[in-house]
Chains A and B, each alone.
Chain A
């Protein structure tokens, strides 16, 4: 197992375009999280899944943001009509089971909106 994998690593897009990022968690992990990190700040929670169920999405930044995990394995994060303020690092993490377990992060997708 190679850990949490994110694709792409970098994305440059024009303002107004839609972008989609993919996260493949560690294979036996049921929980999957998305975070956003801007320069000089700690990661900020966006949403998480327990298997295919999205259990918390109120922290998604606007209705332009959506996430899916259709089969309880990989997940996608989509940003529609991107804005320059969406430029950030988007991080995915996974953990096993329920309750209090260690989370592992992927390498992130760095988004630049021009």
Chain B
């Protein structure tokens, strides 16, 4: 399978700060998604981004598929951004491989 490494594993931010989360993967992929897992366990879709750059409000993401990494940027963080962020990658549409996530805590 594809190995997915996320960094940092834990992150504590003051409200209003910016952060960058990284996802490295071990093989070529056709699918890549970023998720935010809320306290109740549901995975919320942030970006579907197998390549290129996308932005949605305070969040943006960049995937450089040829170099096997993706970055998630969070600007002006808010307490509601707290939770675990997962990167998931895949090939052929048959399954996703998840990293172990980055646990983000935003303090007021």
Q: What residues of chain A have their CB less than 8 Å away from a CB belonging to chain B?
A: 31, 33, 37, 40-45, 48, 55-56, 59, 89, 91, 93, 95, 98-108, 110
What 6 pairs between A and B have smallest CB-CB spacing? Answer: A42-B98, A102-B48, A105-B43, A45-B95, A100-B30, A107-B42
Contacts of A44 in B (CB 8 A): 98
Q: What are some 27 contacts across the A-B interface (CB < 8 A)?
A: A37-B41, A41-B100, A43-B88, A43-B96, A45-B96, A48-B94, A56-B95, A59-B95, A89-B41, A93-B43, A95-B93, A99-B92, A99-B93, A100-B90, A100-B93, A101-B31, A101-B93, A102-B45, A102-B48, A103-B31, A105-B35, A105-B42, A105-B45, A106-B42, A107-B41, A107-B42, A108-B42
Assess the A100–B31 pair: CB atoms within 8 A: yes
Binary flags per residue of B70-99, CB closer than 8 Å to A gives 1, else 0: 000000000000000010101011111111
Q: Complex: how many Å from CA A93 to CA B30? A: 18
Q: CA–CA, A95 to B31, complex, Å? A: 12
Additional A-B contacts beyond A42-B99, A48-B95, A107-B41 (4; CB < 8 A): A31-B93, A43-B96, A89-B41, A103-B96
